[in-house]
Chain A
Amino acid sequence: AIRMTQSPSSVSASTGDRVTITCRASQDFNTYLAWYQQKPGKAPKLLIYATSSLQRGVPSRFSGSGSGTDFTLTISSLQSEDSATYYCQQSYSFPWTFGQGTKVEIK
């Protein structure tokens, strides 16, 4: 199984800050990488698919990039409503796997 490792595990930043979350895969693949946002007690929400495509309705301050084994989710200007846990997920090969999550808190 492809192991997905996110860093950092948590980050605290101020509104307006740029926040970057990294997801490293245990093997090389392209495209089949998604990012989700989950708020407490809620279902996950798809933000980014195919590494860099923004899901409809998601604010443009969210962006994704990467290739090979290293992928990144960037929030260009952090807003209070972005406080959540973020997960990467690979769908290159079964079993599909998620990263362990990155908790983003607002200072």
Chain B
Amino acid sequence: EVQLVESGGGLVQPGGSLRLSCVGSGFTFSVYEMNWVRQAPGKGLEWISYISMSGSTKYYADSVKGRVTISRDNAKNALSLQMNGLRAEDTAVYYCAGGVGYGYMAVWGNGTTVTVSS
């Protein structure tokens, strides 16, 4: 079964840090371009970060640029998102999602919830 499983979400104070993880199984993780997409409560989807198959190319949304870092370990089928300087507006469900080209995301995790609040 093709699967992505996120972890690492939780409650954090403003200005705090969190590291989200995502592990893939049932498919060849190393040939998938991977992304993080978030969804604030009651809102739509927001793409926040992309990483190429090799990990050499990364992109970030302006809303998180300079505060988050995406990385991957293909040997472990793992994707990570290091988040620093968290703000209330970062409160959301964070999904990892991947695809094999053209930017579409065919495989999604079930999401992990990040709540930024004092």
Binding site for B on A (CB under 8 A): 1, 31-32, 34, 36, 38, 42-46, 49-50, 55, 87, 89-92, 94-101
Contacts and interface: CB of A to CB of B under 8 A. Distances in A.
Interface string B51-66: 0000000011110000
Given A95-B59, A95-B61, A101 B106 contact: no
Contacts of B97: 43-44
SS of A interface (majority): loop
Contacts of A46: 99, 104-106, 108
A91 B104 contact: yes
Give the 3 A-B residue pairs with the shortest CB-CB distance, closest first.
A91-B103, A49-B104, A43-B108
A61 to B, nearest CB: 20
B44 A94 contact: no
Given A43-B110, A45-B108, A98 B103 contact: no
Contact of B50 (A32, A34, A92, A94): A94
B50 A96 contact: yes
A50 B59 contact: no
